[in-house]
C-alpha cells in the first residue's frame, strides 16, 4: 500500500502533537516539518528525529499533503499556498480568522478537488463517539467550556479559541439552520474577548446556550443535551457520557441499564433508565489525522470538511458581531 507523504507546518505546542501522531500512523510517511521560527523547528526536529526544512517551498515540493498547526492568523496564507500547489490540507481550527478567507480556501479546495479537513478535535472525543448508537435530536443544548488562563490562544477571541468547538458540535447535531443569535462577552485579561455567552436559536425550535471562558479557576468541558424522553450529559475531559431515558413500561430493560422506577399515570407510565455508554479508547487527535489520511488515500469526503469549518466560523462571526453590538449599547 502506498503511504501518503505528509509534512507538518507549525511546530509549536500543538504542532509537536501532530508530529508525534503522524509518526505513529501506518499509512502515511512524515517527510519533514517547517516553522517560520527556525529555532522552534529545530527543537521539534531534534525531539522527534524528523527532517527540518529551511523553507516552506522545500517542504511542499516533497509532500502530497500537509498538516497545518500554525497560529490562526497564518492559516489562510499557508492553506492557500498549499492548495494552489495541489496539496491536500489538514488545517487546525478555526479554519481561518476571517470568513472571506475561509470561503476562498474552501472554494480553491473544491475547484482543485483536494481534501480540506478542519481540526475540530472534539468531534472525535470519546464522550461523543460513544453516543453513535443513539438517535440525537436535540431540543435544548447547554455547554460550558472553561479553561484556566494561558497566553497561548489569546491572539483571537475566546469564541474562536474555545467556543468554536461547541459551535461545531452543535451544528453537527442540530439538523436545522440558525434562526437567531444573542450574545455577550468581555475582555478581562487580554485584548480580545475572554469570556462569552451565546444563545443560538434554530429554525426547528432547538436552542443552544453556549458559554466559554479562559479565565476560570478550574477546567470544565461539558455538554448537556435535552430531547424528547432523553437527557444526555457529556464530559469532554473524562470522555464519559451518561444517558437518562424514558422507555415504555412494556419494553424490556437491558441488563446494562439501571432502572429508577416509573414516571407517569396509568397507561402513560414510562420507565426511567440510566445508561453509561462504553468509553471508547480513542486518541482524538490521532483518530482525526488517521481519517484525514484515509480520506486522501481512498478519495473520501473528510468527516469535518472545509464547509463544516466555514459554517462554524460563520456562526462564531455572528456571535462576535452580537457581542460588539452589546458592548456598544453599554457604552452609549
> Domain check: are 95 and 237 in the same one?
no
- In terms of domains, do 137 and 230 share one? yes
* Chain segment 204-253, per-residue pLDDT in tens: 999 999 999 999 989 999 999 999 989 999 999 999 999 998 877 556 55
Q: Which of 124-128, 195-199, 218-222, 268-272 has the lowest mean pLDDT?
A: 268-272
User: ω before 94 within 30° of 0 (cis)?
Assistant: yes
d(CA 236, CA 255): 26
Q: Is the Cβ–Cβ distance between 149 and 157 less than 8 Å?
A: no
Enter the C-alpha cell of residue 176: 436545522
Q: State the pLDDT at residue 267.
A: 62
Residue with the larger pLDDT of the pair 153 and 127: 127
Confidence of residue 269 (pLDDT cuts 50, 70, 90): confident
Q: What is the number of structural domains in the chain?
A: 2
What pLDDT is recorded for position 318? 97
3-class DSSP state for residue 79?
A: helix
Q: How many CA atoms lie within 13 A of 104 on its CB side?
A: 14
Kindly state whether residues 274 and 288 are assigned to the same domain: no
How confident is the model over 141-169, as pLDDT tens digits? 999 999 988 777 667 889 999 999 999 99
CATH number of domain containing 220: 3.30.360.10
Q: What is the pLDDT of residues 20-45, one digit of tens each?
A: 999 999 999 999 999 999 999 999 99
What pTM did the predictor assign?
Answer: 0.91
Q: In whole angstroms, give the CA distance from residue 47 to residue 33.
A: 12
Contact status, residue 207 vs residue 170, Cβ threshold 8 Å: no
Does 137 fall in a domain?
Answer: yes
pLDDT band for position 281 (50/70/90)? confident
Q: Is residue 331 included in any domain, yes or no?
A: no
Amino acid at each position: 500500500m502506498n503511504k501518503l507523504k505528509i509534512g507538518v507546518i507549525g511546530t509549536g505546542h500543538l504542532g509537536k502533537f501532530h508530529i508525534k501522531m503522524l509518526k505513529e500512523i501506518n499509512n502515511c510517511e512524515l517527510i519533514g516539518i517547517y516553522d517560520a521560527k527556525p529555532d522552534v523547528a529545530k527543537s521539534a526536529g531534534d525531539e522527534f528525529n524528523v527532517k527540518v526544512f529551511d523553507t516552506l517551498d522545500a517542504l511542499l515540493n516533497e509532500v502530497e499533503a500537509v498538516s497545518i498547526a500554525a497560529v490562526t492568523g497564518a492559516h489562510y496564507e499557508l492553506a492557500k499556498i498549499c492548495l494552489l500547489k495541489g496539496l491536500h490540507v489538514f488545517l487546525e481550527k478555526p479554519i481561518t480568522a476571517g470568513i472571506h478567507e475561509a470561503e476562498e480556501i474552501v472554494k480553491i479546495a473544491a475547484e482543485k478537488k483536494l481534501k480540506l479537513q478542519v481540526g475540530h478535535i472534539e468531534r472525535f472525543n470519546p464522550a461523543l463517539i460513544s453516543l453513535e448508537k443513539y438517535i440525537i435530536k436535540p431540543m435544548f443544548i447547554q455547554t460550558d467550556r472553561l479553561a484556566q488562563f494561558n497566553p497561548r490562544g489569546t491572539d483571537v477571541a475566546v469564541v474562536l479559541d474555545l467556543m468554536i468547538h461547541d459551535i461545531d458540535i452543535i451544528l453537527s447535531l442540530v439538523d436545522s439552520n440558525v434562526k437567531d443569535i444573542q450574545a455577550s462577552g468581555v475582555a478581562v485579561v487580554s485584548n480580545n474577548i475572554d469570556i462569552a455567552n451565546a444563545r443560538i436559536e434554530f429554525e426547528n425550535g432547538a436552542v443552544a446556550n453556549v458559554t466559554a471562558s479562559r479565565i476560570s479557576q478550574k477546567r470544565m468541558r461539558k455538554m448537556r443535551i435535552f430531547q424528547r424522553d432523553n437527557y444526555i450529559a457529556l464530559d469532554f475531559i473524562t470522555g464519559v457520557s451518561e444517558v437518562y431515558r424514558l422507555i415504555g413500561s412494556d419494553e424490556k430493560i437491558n441488563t446494562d441499564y439501571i432502572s429508577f422506577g416509573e414516571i407517569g399515570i396509568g397507561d402513560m407510565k414510562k420507565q426511567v433508565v440510566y445508561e453509561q455508554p462504553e468509553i471508547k479508547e480513542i486518541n482524538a487527535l490521532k483518530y482525526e489525522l488517521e481519517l484525514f489520511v484515509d480520506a486522501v488515500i481512498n478519495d473520501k469526503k473528510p468527516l469535518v470538511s472545509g464547509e463544516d469549518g466555514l459554517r462554524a466560523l460563520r456562526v462564531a462571526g455572528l456571535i462576535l458581531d452580537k457581542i460588539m453590538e452589546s458592548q456598544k449599547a453599554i457604552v452609549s
